[in-house]
């Protein structure tokens, strides 16, 4: 098996920083959110009203949020962005995955549902808080799980507990657990 190196070029870094600057984002406060999922997993997305609550609460606490979107997610996620209290921009890496990787690297925190985007963020060293259905440590990639928070949806229990800051288990029926992890 070969090694794949994600090359973050100065050109891509400058594009991302320019975009953030033009849109008045502070890199040190920017949280990248990925509210979507792959087409086959759309039924597992967090409901729109919950994303609005998450974004509004993060904004109230001083974070600046940006949705990282693919072309086909743009419409549904722009509907969420329009309903948020604070400015919420959409970043679509039209020039390819390496621009998206650079964007994920520059931001302070990744929050979201998209396991592919989460793995990219984790690989480039961005702290991640992610919400998934069934998952295990082998699905997280090569970055130690202790650095990230994985919130597992679970139909069995309505309670949650924190375990070594590495995982939250339980039914995510409100955004309280998610926000607790983000805002600590």
By DSSP bridging, strand 109-112 and strand 127-132 are: parallel
The reported pLDDT for the residue numbered 177 is 57
The reported pLDDT for the residue numbered 175 is 53
The reported pLDDT for the residue numbered 55 is 84
* DSSP H or E stretch at residue 161: strand 161-163
Q: Which two tokens stand for residue 131?
A: 């919400």
The reported pLDDT for the residue numbered 38 is 61
Phi, psi of 141 (to 5 degrees): 100, -160
Q: Which fold has domain 10-182?
A: Rossmann fold (3.40.50)
d(CA 110, CA 127): 6
Q: Which two tokens stand for residue 181?
A: 């992890």
The reported pLDDT for the residue numbered 1 is 46
Nearest one of 80, 73, 68, 69 to 39, comparing CA atoms: 73
pLDDT tens for the 184 residues of the chain, in order: 445 566 788 998 998 999 999 999 988 888 888 876 666 666 556 677 778 888 888 888 888 888 888 777 777 788 888 998 987 888 887 777 888 889 989 988 888 777 778 778 888 888 887 665 444 444 444 444 455 555 544 432 333 333 322 333 333 334 555 566 655 5
Distance from chain centroid for Cα 34: 4
The reported pLDDT for the residue numbered 164 is 29
Helix, strand, coil content of the chain in percent (nearest 5): 45, 20, 40
d(CA 11, CA 181): 33
Cα dihedral 154, 159, 160, 161 sign: negative
The reported pLDDT for the residue numbered 74 is 79
* β-bridge mates for residue 65, sequence order: 31
């Amino acid at each position: 098996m070969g090694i794949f190196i994600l090359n973050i070029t100065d050109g891509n870094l400058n594009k991302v920083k320019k975009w953030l600057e033009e849109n008045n984002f502070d890199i040190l406060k920017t949280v990248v959110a990925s509210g979507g999922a792959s087409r086959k997993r759309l039924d597992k997305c967090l409901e729109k009203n919950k994303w609005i609550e998450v974004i509004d609460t993060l904004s109230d606490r001083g974070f600046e949020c940006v949705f990282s979107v693919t072309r086909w997610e743009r419409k549904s996620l722009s509907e969420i962005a329009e309903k948020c209290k604070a400015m919420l921009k959409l970043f679509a890496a039209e020039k390819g995955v390496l621009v998206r990787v650079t964007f994920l690297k520059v931001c302070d925190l990744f929050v979201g549902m998209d396991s592919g985007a989460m793995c990219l963020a984790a690989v480039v060293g961005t702290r991640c808080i992610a919400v998934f259905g069934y998952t295990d440590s082998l699905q997280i990639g090569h970055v130690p799980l202790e650095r990230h928070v994985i919130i597992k949806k679970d139909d069995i229990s309505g309670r949650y507990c924190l375990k070594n800051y590495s995982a939250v288990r339980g039914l995510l029926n409100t955004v309280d657990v998610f926000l607790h992890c983000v805002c600590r």
